[in-house]
Amino acid sequence: MEHGFDFGAILLALAAALVGAKVFGELAERMGQPAVLGELLVGVLLGPSVLGLVPLGDSIRELAEIGVVLLLFEVGLETNLEDLVRVGAPALAVALAGMLLPFAGGYAVTRALGYDTLVATFVGASLTATSIGITARVLSELGVLATREGQIILGAAVADDVLGLVILAVVSKVAGGGQVAAGLVVKSTALSIGFLVLAIAAGIPLGRRLVGVVGKASVRGVLGAMSVAFALIVAWAAMKADSAPIVGAFAAGMALARTNRRHEIDTALKPVVDIFAPVFFVYVGAEVNVRLLNPAAVDNRPALLLGLLLATVGFLGKFAAGFCAWGKVRRAFIGAGMVPRGEVGLIFASVGLATHALPERVFVAVLVAVFATTFVAPPLLKMLRPRPA
């Protein structure tokens, strides 16, 4: 059935990702760790730098990104907008502190090692964004999405993602040699935040209308398919508003959470998420090149050392940010929830490399910091978790 594209390779990679994710997820759980840690680790093993069963490239990446979009849609479906708004102020405080502290730390370390301002700015910026994918998944696994801590982390991670993409737009422009007008920053920020508000405000009545219309249909699987289509369209609109597709999918989920068929949508969605979300985490793991992490190779050491320093300031900055939350909450848990950088840090690093803003050694160091914070977060969250709500 194939000419020109290798469907066999796609089938095999998807199968390997699924089997690996479930086997290692199970092993992780038996060792008292979140399943997502096993998925990330098996991704390293299946990726091109070890076994090569899950290649990096558009075909698997497409499935991975659809997976994380559907995951955030599901998380949104399980999120109560009022609860999220109620923790808005502490969440924003955590988000802002969680961007400023790692930025300052990353900037200072890079400058201290003799790199110029542009490199230091890019490194600092790379450490600002929390991975909403990792965080949401671990919170969901621990059953603490609905706790006050869970809501603060989620709110702060969404704010981080929205603002992180504004920062990316700005530093990319600087790296490309362009000037950054204050007006552009304000416009880009306003667009991203405005989109989120609009998506929820318009999404709620639209979602109700959708559910009403769909209720009259008789074709098989129409509610699940139309809900997914709704999420995909809002995710697409988010991209058009310079925001992230996962932010759009999350907003779509929150909108449909307010319809009377929320539970049916969730039931139809779960099996799809179970298959596609692990592909995302395996893919993130596959992006780790273990060869660069070998300390026995002398060439690797400078980047590893810088990476460890960046991982440390990146970790401490986000962890400390958790203590900016107030109310009766476990602040250390919130801090831990902000730690993973995951996919967003990778995007910063790869834009930095592509625009020549980051020398390759610094690029590798940023990757080390991104992966170290991503892998340390799930066990830390498990250790510090509050009682499920």
**Which residues are near a second copy by CB under 8 A?**
1-5, 7-8, 10-12, 14-15, 18-19, 21-22, 25-26, 29, 35, 58-59, 61-63, 65-66, 69, 141, 217-222, 224-226, 228-230, 232-233, 235-236, 239-240, 244-246, 267-275, 278, 343-344, 347, 350-351, 354
Q: Are 202 and 250 in contact (CB under 8 A)?
A: no
CB of 96 to a second copy, least distance (A): 23
Tell me how crowded residue 13 is: count the other CB atoms within 10 A of its CB.
24
CB of 232 to a second copy, least distance (A): 4
CB of 40 to a second copy, least distance (A): 14
Which residue number, 239 or 305, has a Cβ lying nearer to a second copy? 239
Tracing tokens 């479930």 back to the chain, one arrives at 22
CB of 289 to a second copy, least distance (A): 18
Which residue number, 103 or 230, has a Cβ lying nearer to a second copy? 230
CA dist., res. 102 & res. 123, Å (int): 10
Give me the sign of the Cα torsion angle 121, 127, 133, 136.
negative
In angstroms, the Cα distances linking 185 to 94, 164, 338 are: 21, 12, 24
Q: Are 122 and 357 in contact (CB under 8 A)?
A: yes
Backbone φ, ψ for residue 19 (5° rounding): -65, -50
Which residue number, 1 or 182, has a Cβ lying nearer to a second copy? 1
CB of 48 to a second copy, least distance (A): 16
Q: Are 225 and 233 in contact (CB under 8 A)?
A: no
CA dist., res. 237 & res. 198, Å (int): 11
Which residue number, 53 or 200, has a Cβ lying nearer to a second copy? 53
Q: Are 371 and 342 in contact (CB under 8 A)?
A: no
CB of 305 to a second copy, least distance (A): 28
Which residue number, 219 or 298, has a Cβ lying nearer to a second copy? 219
